[in-house]
A and B are shown apart, each in its own frame.
Chain A
Amino acid sequence: MAKAITKIQQIELSEEQRRRKDLEELETALLDNKDAIFQSLDVIKHMHDRGVLSLLGGLFSEGDKVLNVLVKAADKPEATNTLKNLLLMVGVLGTINVQQLEPLLLKLNSGIARVAEYKETEDKLGYFDIVRSLKDPEINSALTLLFEFLKGMGEDTSGLERTTQLPEDQDLHQSQEGTLEHR
């Protein structure tokens, strides 16, 4: 005769038994990952030596508060502007052709070097001096370069601007593949 019963006696693990079980589990996990653990310990030691650990400790223990302060600090026009400019500059940097720029930069450097050596004198440069200077091959080639540059600067690049244009007006959207490569 088996009447319905609802009482259940759970296996009560003593504190000692539970501890032993947990330790056994831990031991296996440690042994299974021996190499990784030694390496981590090494990293942790260095972090401790440099004080990184206590820094992180503070950061994590007050995680929400720190994040809040950080976010509030960043949520100011100057800060967001900085980030924005950074991101934009990164974009602009990407469009520069360094191969073409390098000779120009070298020339700019040597120009700067000359200026650095230049001593302030009482001598005034007259019109004739300027015309005469044109015969100087160095000055002549510099001016040719400058004129070419001015010409390029005058070209219409507004279609490439991302900060001033509606998306649909940008060249990016006018091109078939959605890229600028085959313009």
Chain B
Amino acid sequence: MSGKINVTINGAEVTAIENQTILQCLSDSTIEVPSVCYHPSLGPIETCDTCIVEVNGELVRSCSTQMKTGDVIDTTAPEVKKAQTMAMDKILFNHELYCTVCDYNNGTCEVHNTVKEMKINHQSIPFDHKPYEKDYSNPFYRYDPDQCILCGRCVEACQDVQVTETLRIDWERDRPRVIWDNDVPINESSCVSCGHCSTVCPCNAMMEKGMEGEAGFLTGIAKETLRPMIEITKGVETGYGSILAISDMEAAMRESRIKKTKTVCTYCGVGCSFDVWTKGREILKVEPQIEAPANGISTCVKGKFGWDFVNSEERLTKPLIREGDSFREAEWDEALNLIASKFTEIKNEHGPDSLGFITSSKCTNEESYLMQKLARAVIGTNNIDNCSRYCQTPATVGLFRTVGHGGDAGSFADIAMADLVIIVGSNTAEAHPVLATRVKRAQKLNGQKVIVADLREHEMADRADLFVRPKAGSDLVWISAVTKYIIDQGWADEEFLKNKVNGLSEYVASLEGFTLEYAEKTTGLSKETLIEIATSIHEAKSVCALWAMGVTQHLGGSDTSTAISNLLLITGNYGRPGTGAYPLRGHNNVQGAGDFGSSPDSLPGYQKVFNDAERQKFEQAWGTKLPSEPGINNHDMIEGMHNGTLKALYVKGEEMGLVDSNINHVHSAYEKLDFFVVQDIFFSRTAQFADVVLPASPSFEKEGTFTNTERRIQRLYQVFDPAGESKPDWQILIEVANRLGAGWRYEHPSEVMAEAASLMPIYSGVTYELLEGYKSLQWPVNPDGTDTPVLYLDGFPFPDGKARLFPVKWSIPVQFGEEYDIHVNNGRLLEHFHEGNLTYKSEGITSKTPETFLEVSPELAEERGLKDGTLVRLTSPYGNVKVRCVVTDRVKGKEVYLPMNDTGDAAINLLTSSYGDKDTDTPAYKETKAKMDILQYEGVNPLPRNNFRYGNPQPQIGVQVQKKWARPDYIFPGDLVKKERTQHG
């Protein structure tokens, strides 16, 4: 580790940390050194030369020079200032200062601030236009080469943080610029519109389109007027000082009308947080912050640019009541009274268990808490579930069986620092994009090894050190075989097993059948491959296993999850930083919905309804008897509707009518309900079956907390007032409960959290104060407010502190008749979230990905005569879809991939069955087979050419500053100053 060293800075003796760069050390002190290209999240880029200081008589870049003991550092010598000024001059040659009429003049422009700090009044090399046009082609951001200072931050972020590897600076040309792929327009490149470049750009070169003409008071001026205005500003310049003073004034004025609100993303389970910049109800931009605990400066296209749905004209703004063959808008009072009277009537007539409640993993923790409290304490039923039943409940079961906590073992930082990352059944780069960037970066820069097991060669598979394609649904077999091989080789972590794990001998016995030969036959992976995997695990000092729906959405989803956890236990990969199991949660609050008791057998904090002591704690707090029998889950609710035992259903924020499997079956179940309440922000497919539809508010319009896949609890703040007469879900739930006589008096979500925390041991120390701003907590949170970023450091949450090896058997996947010869894999796309009800509201996203498509392999295309655009019908025993093909080698053989972003004829769940995981009823979405008919050979390619999948990435490390230094017109300012000195001297 780095020790303390003594150095001299500007004549004063100072203690510093060894191996810190000079710039890092100075930024902790009061001494300021300019640093235009440096960004704390990107590290030294070394393109701008403005951070030059003198060290032991030499002029060096302070951003990249590490401190050594005894260094004598001077930041104020005239030569230092001279060199810095020369560097800044080069920057201003590339950047025109028209700050007052610039949309980036918001107090954070590095160029502006550095000019001011350095008190630069003039430049010796005047600004000169570059011979390039602005690139407006991308729907979300634009690049203005003329304002680009060539600092390379965007390239660094694209190459080494996001690792899409699209951006470069072409240092070869006379006037260098940023280029996309092989110098194509942005919209025709491999750019995934993640927004990293516009986030880190220090000036107005790379800018979000939402900002343009909107941020400033004078920036909306017509183009023809703007140019002369810039000329005036420049003509008048008596030196930049006075101009900057005016623009500073204007920047200060902007504060009064631009609101910046911290929120947490409501798409996937990564839990990105960022500031939203708004002007009235207009969203100017999303600005991730360095201190954001899960994502830092990172976002994906949805989090950065996918918020149009909030202001969509299609938002529900008034309650709807079914009347004959149409809905009519109604007042809140009428709708709420109707719900109360119907619920009471049905409860009195058929008992509380004739009602079912589905809460949302899109809603806040507080809202899930209130929903289950409504079901349990007000109605008196445990019939409460949420959509994690569709995705990650099996993973939770697998972890409870083995290690005792149903959550990720550590943080993203642990995944990034692991020696080896194993990804099973997870299209991480598209389903959890920001988390994927951490793996891609660690692999690219730090030599992390990545093994991917998947059917489809998605981005992570493409990048993996080892990519294997086991037969669909056979993961348990190869994982168990690898585990057995490791044990047989004597590679198990004996010490760890002896001290921290129970059940070894039974478990070892259960593996007997999982020989390499058996695994080779069952999974299609060769013995050599299996041994290679085992060896990689053995050789890695730390292993993280990541998995998602490719594991869980099978008949044996819980068992496969268990097998992964068993493997980690056998190899001692728990309870240390950089190790553990990471079931990647699909929605922003899947983890939280589960934590807060949205399941038929669990009260908040995974306390069991059938455990008297735990249940009685809640009975006491809520002042009512609670049912002790577990209720029924989503799946059984559908069956209950069909056989007439479930009469009423209340669905909150869940498009169950599209995302549940076998939706024809689900829809006919809805039709049998006596009374159906749907609460949503849009008139969803599910809502079409409702008797009452309540208009809710999305995350931008409320306060509360979300818990991400790292078990990280984060606060969101209200950006807008609720649209129309819509209301935050927690307020609606209170009104429903109170009309049923509950007498709830919560004024703010913080009061709900306070009550929940007092009842949930894993949340016991959580308060809103501890979560202020960008602060977060990872559960378990102790009563004193300390949290647990890495689980199991002090043993496992079982009575004796030891984990449990849990023997599992392989479940043979659902068998289909021979005519169903196509295996239909399905899942997410990067740019659309689920069925797309939120993301299709974004014009930009829709322009790049207007509809879903069927990925077919070149082999299948050849065999059946399929082309890009061919319209096919897939028919399973449960229904059929019509969709157009895209031929791609991401899929192989008779394996096709149907992304789920469709609400009509191509909705995947028209095909899926009602089979489910034998332990949790999670639908076996991934065990779907169909036959294919061709409806029309020729057709329009459903994936337009401006989609990033056609791009041509250009990987390189960073911005390649050496190429800049090698240019004949480049001389290091430090050398230039020295040369002048010798000449003059």
Q: Is the CB of B667 within 8 A of A4?
A: yes
Query: How far is A163 from B121 in the complex, measured between Cα atoms in Å?
Result: 9
Option from B222, B235, B325 in Cβ contact (under 8 Å) with A7: B325
Residues of A within 8 A of B322 (CB): 2, 5
Minimum CB–CB distance from A181 to chain B (whole Å) comes to 14
Interface residues in A, total, Cβ within 8 A:
39
Q: Is the CB of A2 within 8 A of B78?
A: no
Query: How far is A64 from B670 in the complex, measured between Cα atoms in Å?
Result: 58
Q: Is the CB of B671 within 8 A of A72?
A: no
Given contacts A71-B229, A168-B82, contact A2 B122 (CB under 8 A): no
Minimum CB–CB distance from B797 to chain A (whole Å) comes to 45
Q: Is the CB of B229 within 8 A of A9?
A: no
What mask results when residues 44 to 77 of chain A are scored 1 for a CB within 8 Å of chain B, else 0? 0000000000000000000010011001101101
Q: Is the CB of A87 within 8 A of B221?
A: no
Residues of A within 8 A of B76 (CB): 176
Residues of A within 8 A of B235 (CB): 75, 77, 80-81, 83-84
Query: How far is A45 from B117 in the complex, measured between Cα atoms in Å?
Result: 47
Residues of A within 8 A of B237 (CB): 84
Residues of B within 8 A of A83 (CB): 232, 235-236
Query: How far is A8 from B695 in the complex, measured between Cα atoms in Å?
Result: 14
Given contacts A2-B670, A173-B81, contact A75 B231 (CB under 8 A): yes
Query: How far is A89 from B673 in the complex, measured between Cα atoms in Å?
Result: 83
Option from B222, B685, B691 in Cβ contact (under 8 Å) with A2: B691
Q: Is the CB of A4 within 8 A of B119?
A: no
What mask results when residues 79 to 112 of chain A are scored 1 for a CB within 8 Å of chain B, else 0? 1110110011001000000000000000000000
Which size bracket describes the interface of B in this complex? 35 or more
| CB closest residue in chain A, given B324 | A5
Q: Is the CB of A167 within 8 A of B232?
A: no
| CB closest residue in chain A, given B117 | A178
**B688 CB–A CB distance under 8 Å:** yes
Residues of B within 8 A of A77 (CB): 235
Q: Is the CB of A168 within 8 A of B86?
A: yes
Q: Is the CB of A87 within 8 A of B224?
A: no
Residues of A within 8 A of B688 (CB): 4-6
Residues of A within 8 A of B320 (CB): 8
Query: How far is A71 from B234 in the complex, measured between Cα atoms in Å?
Result: 13
Q: Is the CB of A87 within 8 A of B238?
A: yes
Minimum CB–CB distance from B909 to chain A (whole Å) comes to 15
Option from A3, A8, A71, A88 in Cβ contact (under 8 Å) with B232: A71
**B328 CB–A CB distance under 8 Å:** yes
Residues of B within 8 A of A170 (CB): 121
**A131 CB–B CB distance under 8 Å:** no
Query: How far is A165 from B221 in the complex, measured between Cα atoms in Å?
Result: 34
What mask results when residues 82 to 123 of chain B are scored 1 for a CB within 8 Å of chain A, else 0? 100110000000000000000000000000000000111111
Q: Is the CB of B238 within 8 A of A84?
A: yes
**A174 CB–B CB distance under 8 Å:** yes
Given contacts A1-B672, A9-B328, A74-B232, contact A162 B225 (CB under 8 A): no
Residues of B within 8 A of A71 (CB): 225, 228-229, 232
Q: Is the CB of B689 within 8 A of A2?
A: yes
Residues of B within 8 A of A81 (CB): 235
Residues of A within 8 A of B121 (CB): 162, 167, 170, 172
Given contacts A87-B238, A88-B238, A174-B78, contact A2 B673 (CB under 8 A): yes
Query: How far is A1 from B118 in the complex, measured between Cα atoms in Å?
Result: 75
Q: Is the CB of B329 within 8 A of A10?
A: yes
Residues of A within 8 A of B329 (CB): 8-11
Residues of A within 8 A of B177 (CB): none
**A166 CB–B CB distance under 8 Å:** yes
Residues of B within 8 A of A172 (CB): 119, 121
Query: How far is A101 from B816 in the complex, measured between Cα atoms in Å?
Result: 102
Residues of A within 8 A of B670 (CB): 2, 4
Query: How far is A40 from B329 in the complex, measured between Cα atoms in Å?
Result: 41
Q: Is the CB of A68 within 8 A of B85?
A: no
| CB closest residue in chain A, given B235 | A80
What mask results when residues 1 to 40 of chain A are scored 1 for a CB within 8 Å of chain B, else 0? 1111111111100000000000000000000000000000
| CB closest residue in chain A, given B83 | A168
**B683 CB–A CB distance under 8 Å:** yes
Residues of B within 8 A of A88 (CB): 238
Query: How far is A176 from B327 in the complex, measured between Cα atoms in Å?
Result: 75
Query: How far is A5 from B320 in the complex, measured between Cα atoms in Å?
Result: 12
Q: Is the CB of B236 within 8 A of A166?
A: no
Option from A4, A7, A162 in Cβ contact (under 8 Å) with B239: A162
Residues of A within 8 A of B78 (CB): 174
Query: How far is A10 from B323 in the complex, measured between Cα atoms in Å?
Result: 12
Query: How far is A9 from B683 in the complex, measured between Cα atoms in Å?
Result: 13
Option from B86, B123, B222, B236 in Cβ contact (under 8 Å) with A64: B222
Query: How far is A168 from B326 in the complex, measured between Cα atoms in Å?
Result: 76
What mask results when residues 900 to 915 of chain B are scored 1 for a CB within 8 Å of chain A, else 0? 0000000000000000
Residues of B within 8 A of A72 (CB): 228
What mask results when residues 505 to 524 of chain B are scored 1 for a CB within 8 Å of chain A, else 0? 00000000000000000000
| CB closest residue in chain B, given A166 | B124
**B643 CB–A CB distance under 8 Å:** no
Query: How far is A67 from B229 in the complex, measured between Cα atoms in Å?
Result: 10
Residues of B within 8 A of A167 (CB): 85, 118-124
Residues of A within 8 A of B236 (CB): 80, 83-84, 87
Tell me the residues in window 907-931 of chain B with beta carbons closer than 8 Å to chain A beta carbons: none
Tell me the residues in window 141-183 of chain A with beta carbons closer than 8 Å to chain B beta carbons: 162-163, 165-168, 170, 172-174, 176, 178
Query: How far is A176 from B81 in the complex, measured between Cα atoms in Å?
Result: 10
Minimum CB–CB distance from B498 to chain A (whole Å) comes to 60
Tell me the residues in window 310-336 of chain B with beta carbons closer than 8 Å to chain A beta carbons: 318, 320, 322-323, 325-330
What mask results when residues 217 to 259 of chain B are scored 1 for a CB within 8 Å of chain A, else 0? 0000110110011011001111100100000000000000000
Minimum CB–CB distance from B903 to chain A (whole Å) comes to 12
Given contacts A1-B672, A167-B85, contact A75 B228 (CB under 8 A): yes
Residues of A within 8 A of B318 (CB): 10-11
**B38 CB–A CB distance under 8 Å:** no
Residues of A within 8 A of B124 (CB): 166-167
- Closest 5 pairs (CB-CB, A-B): A80-B235, A7-B326, A4-B688, A168-B85, A75-B228
B contacts, CB < 8 Å to A: 76, 78, 81-82, 85-86, 118-124, 221-222, 224-225, 228-229, 231-232, 235-239, 242, 318, 320, 322-323, 325-330, 667, 670-673, 676, 683, 685, 688-691
A-B contact pairs, 27 of them (CB 8 A): A2-B689, A2-B691, A5-B325, A5-B326, A7-B325, A9-B326, A9-B328, A11-B328, A11-B330, A64-B221, A68-B222, A71-B228, A74-B232, A75-B231, A79-B232, A80-B236, A84-B237, A87-B242, A91-B238, A162-B239, A166-B124, A167-B118, A167-B120, A167-B122, A173-B85, A174-B78, A176-B76
A contacts, CB < 8 Å to B: 1-11, 64, 67-68, 71-72, 74-75, 77, 79-81, 83-84, 87-88, 91, 162-163, 165-168, 170, 172-174, 176, 178
